[in-house]
Structure 1
Amino acid sequence: MNSTISATLQKSTQVVGPNVAKTLELLEHENVKEYFANVNKNKVIHAISVDYPETGDNPKTKIVGGYSHGFVAAIHQAYNHHQHLCLKPDDVWLTIAQGVSHHINLNAEKFRSYFVEHEGKQEIEIFAGDVLNYVNNILEGDWPEAIHRLENKTSEKIKKVDISKILECDFSTSTMAAKTASHVILLDALKNYFSYKISTLCGIPKVTLEGSLEDWTRIQEKVVKLRNLGLDMDFWLDRLEPVIWRLVDTYRGEIDEQFWGKVFSTTKIYGSGGGTYWTGWITAFFPYDKSDAKITHNKIDIYYIPDGRVHVPFSTDLGLNLNFVAGFLGARQELVTNEDDTEVYVSSLIGWFVVDQDKDEKND
């Protein structure tokens, strides 16, 4: 069985489905900025960043269509079309962090005393006039720095539980887009306690686990820390923890083909209460589905897969009411030719953007 652990490139490539025939089918891709501009018609996208920059040579990085959750879309594409899956620690951890945020928001009053001592919402305002400029109806500039300042000031307000470092993407693979997305997820987790304001004025043949072994074992440690926070997440972490352990085993070259053959399967139930469901370990990354229902027995209705992006409202002293949107903006494919082989690599697309709020959306 072929396996590779690279010390110089800091990644581990393992054959997890030796009997899975690889395919080289490339789906149509589209430009991420153009896609979200079309989705958010009549709104201004003030900034957008992804961890695979779209340049003149590579203007389209997102697979057309598919699931809105890029982590799900990447694994689904690799599994159903027998293509090489690439996973970063950031992909796994950002999905988990979004689940933590979802859980806290659904139980905001229950956990209020864990995070803050005040009632209601306290406004957090930062100055970013030195890094953001309002030009031609677009608030542009160094948004990662502005978001970092907002995240720092929010973290300072949390007295009892140091959750900011746990939720952060801080791996050797973490791009600025991934780190910024994880900072926005912290803001999302605490948005019931704070308001924010910026003053500017079918099978997988191979998997590559990017980053170092330390990165992946750190996810194990972070999951343990999440359990120790006392946020009543055992119903979810009991499903999640074994999956993380198997990913670490895979990095080490300890391959469980049965595990990788059970990423998910599709089940259709007919009649009253029927639907199309996914089962398998991919569902372990989500505590709740899109309707806020708890996921049990690793089963989720495919139409209720979480969105993959969090939305955090904030206002500015210019009268703009905006949203941070961060997380997974899609999935991408790349045709890679090595010395003796050609494969299609599939990976998630992490990023964020800043967009106008809906006209009827309240910034409270």
Structure 2
Amino acid sequence: MPAVIKPQPSKVGRNQDPAVRSPKELLANVSHHYSNLPVLHSSFADLESADASPDVVPYENGFVYTVLRAFQQDMHLELRPDDVWIAILSQLSFFVNSHSEELRDVDINMFIERLVNLVQAKLSNPAVADWMLPRFSTTTQTDATVAAMVFLGSLKQYFNYEMRIGCGFPSVTLLGTRDDWELLRQCISHLTDLGDFQELRDWAAYLDCVLMYMIAGFDYPDAQEVKDFWMRAAHSAGQRASGGLISLSGWLTAFCLWQADGTLTRVYSDEELKQHLSTDNIGEWARLELSGVSFPVIGRFSIPAAIVNFPVIVLDGFSEEKTVVVAGLVGMEVGGTELSTAKPRPGWWLLHEKS
């Protein structure tokens, strides 16, 4: 049964961000580098449907920006464990590709096998788990495909394949079961199996803390501490932060550690934060601490993408076609009769790479 938390139920807003109407238009907004390539296939058939298609607002990080913009516009937020896991996989992809040489001695197959076994233990049919396809009770075929593609993007160094702040959330709905979210938390505990990296240990600690509070929503949805957690997604001060987004100091920074090129996102030092705290709005610059875990503070323009890409050679009879896969969390899907509900939108494209 889903969990529903109501951090700020007194006000309900609606989406004001422009939506796109076609897979090509969505691609042009989230991955401009590949926007001129012909689309061979994609997961966005519903955007081309003659029936009422969903409103999808393009963002390069469909998880972080969906949570952030839902908060800023006082919208209902819906999240699935799949959304969180794909966001984690995209960050893992950036980390792995930036440490390709250091990780060449790591038994990648053993790392994969451990995660597969963890998922298989939760499934009635273990054969459906092919590495970390996120088979939660909410998982769709698109989710499984996107997760697999994002994972493949993390291994491209090893193999060749053929803002304005509003009040908060009227409600947050965590779809799926409590067991789904517990499984997600267990998967996080295996991230450090990749090697002895302090940045990995820090990341796992951030994510574990976030998941602990999310799971608490199933047990104590009306607890003030749980409501406060959601109000502090963007800023440590919650709704007391100022009207302009200058920094990101809430727990969303746990999903922003690496940029797409694998470099660590620049974070503000304690000394820099002290300087800002003496002159600026404290809500923008105070470091968030939850259950003994201190989260990083980053600049407003440092939110990384949640999209990966990698080349694939498609064999068609006697010919070979060079293609590119682009996949990840590509935007915010808006729903509800008043356009007041937001959720991350996963998806993928297979593009024909011109000779």
For residues 216 and 335 of structure 1, the distance between their equivalents in structure 2, rounded to whole angstroms, comes to: 25
> Could you say which residue in structure 2 is the equivalent of 1:191?
156
> Could you say which residue in structure 1 is the equivalent of 2:256?
286
Residues 322 and 355 of structure 1 are in contact (CA less than 8 Å); yes or no, is this contact kept in structure 2?
A: yes
> Could you say which residue in structure 1 is the equivalent of 2:203?
236
SS of equivalent residue, structure 2 residue 326:
strand
For residues 257 and 41 of structure 2, the distance between their equivalents in structure 1, rounded to whole angstroms, comes to: 30
Following superposition, the deviation at residue 59 of structure 1 comes to 2.8
> Could you say which residue in structure 1 is the equivalent of 2:227?
257
Asked if 1:103 corresponds to 2:70, the answer is no
Following superposition, the deviation at residue 29 of structure 1 comes to 2.2
Following superposition, the deviation at residue 167 of structure 1 comes to 3.5
TM-score where L is the length of structure 2 = 0.73
Deviates more, 1:349-358 or 1:101-110: 349-358
What amino acid is the match of 1:33?
P
Following superposition, the deviation at residue 343 of structure 1 comes to 7.0
Count the aligned residue pairs.
290
Asked if 1:61 corresponds to 2:58, the answer is no
What are the residue-to-residue correspondences of 1:71-90 with 2, within 5 Å? 71-90=63-82
Asked if 1:182 corresponds to 2:147, the answer is yes
* CA separation of 1:93 and 1:50: change in aligned 2, threshold 3 A: farther
Following superposition, the deviation at residue 46 of structure 1 comes to 0.8
What are the residue-to-residue correspondences of 1:1-364 with 2, within 5 Å? 10-18=1-9, 20-25=10-15, 27-36=17-26, 38=28, 39=32, 40-50=34-44, 55-63=49-57, 67-115=59-107, 158=109, 161-162=112-113, 165=116, 167-197=132-162, 202=166, 203-230=168-195, 232=197, 233-254=200-221, 255=223, 256-265=226-235, 276-290=246-260, 292-295=262-265, 296=267, 297-317=295-315, 318-336=319-337, 344-357=340-353
Stretches of structure 1 lacking an aligned partner (at least 5 in a row): 1-9, 117-157, 268-274, 337-341, 360-364
* 1:318-345 Cα distance to aligned partner (Å, 9 max, x none): 3422111111121111124xxxxx6711
- Looking at secondary structure, tell me which structure has more helix per residue: 2
What amino acid is the match of 2:314?
T
Following superposition, the deviation at residue 235 of structure 1 comes to 2.2
Following superposition, the deviation at residue 221 of structure 1 comes to 0.8
When the two chains are superposed, the root-mean-square deviation of aligned CA atoms in Å is: 2.7
Residues 32 and 60 of structure 1 are in contact (CA less than 8 Å); yes or no, is this contact kept in structure 2?
A: no
For residues 46 and 181 of structure 2, the distance between their equivalents in structure 1, rounded to whole angstroms, comes to: 22
* CA separation of 1:35 and 1:257: change in aligned 2, threshold 3 A: same
Following superposition, the deviation at residue 230 of structure 1 comes to 3.4
For residues 94 and 163 of structure 1, the distance between their equivalents in structure 2, rounded to whole angstroms, comes to: 18
For residues 192 and 230 of structure 2, the distance between their equivalents in structure 1, rounded to whole angstroms, comes to: 26
Identity %: 23
For residues 140 and 351 of structure 2, the distance between their equivalents in structure 1, rounded to whole angstroms, comes to: 21
Residues 82 and 143 of structure 2 are in contact (CA less than 8 Å); yes or no, is this contact kept in structure 1?
A: yes
* CA separation of 1:114 and 1:25: change in aligned 2, threshold 3 A: closer
SS of equivalent residue, structure 2 residue 301:
helix
> Could you say which residue in structure 2 is the equivalent of 1:272?
none
Following superposition, the deviation at residue 195 of structure 1 comes to 0.6
Residues 97 and 155 of structure 2 are in contact (CA less than 8 Å); yes or no, is this contact kept in structure 1?
A: yes
Following superposition, the deviation at residue 301 of structure 1 comes to 2.7
* CA separation of 1:237 and 1:31: change in aligned 2, threshold 3 A: same
What amino acid is the match of 1:322?
T
For residues 23 and 60 of structure 1, the distance between their equivalents in structure 2, rounded to whole angstroms, comes to: 18
Residues 51 and 350 of structure 1 are in contact (CA less than 8 Å); yes or no, is this contact kept in structure 2?
A: no
* CA separation of 1:36 and 1:247: change in aligned 2, threshold 3 A: same
SS of equivalent residue, structure 2 residue 82:
helix
* 1:186-227 Cα distance to aligned partner (Å, 9 max, x none): 211211110111xxxx31120010111110010111111223
* CA separation of 1:224 and 1:45: change in aligned 2, threshold 3 A: same
Residues 32 and 62 of structure 1 are in contact (CA less than 8 Å); yes or no, is this contact kept in structure 2?
A: no
Residues 307 and 327 of structure 2 are in contact (CA less than 8 Å); yes or no, is this contact kept in structure 1?
A: yes
* CA separation of 1:15 and 1:36: change in aligned 2, threshold 3 A: closer
TM-score where L is the length of structure 1 = 0.72
Following superposition, the deviation at residue 253 of structure 1 comes to 2.9
SS of equivalent residue, structure 2 residue 36:
coil
> Could you say which residue in structure 2 is the equivalent of 1:125?
none
Residues 64 and 255 of structure 2 are in contact (CA less than 8 Å); yes or no, is this contact kept in structure 1?
A: no
- Looking at secondary structure, tell me which structure has more strand per residue: 1
For residues 179 and 190 of structure 1, the distance between their equivalents in structure 2, rounded to whole angstroms, comes to: 17
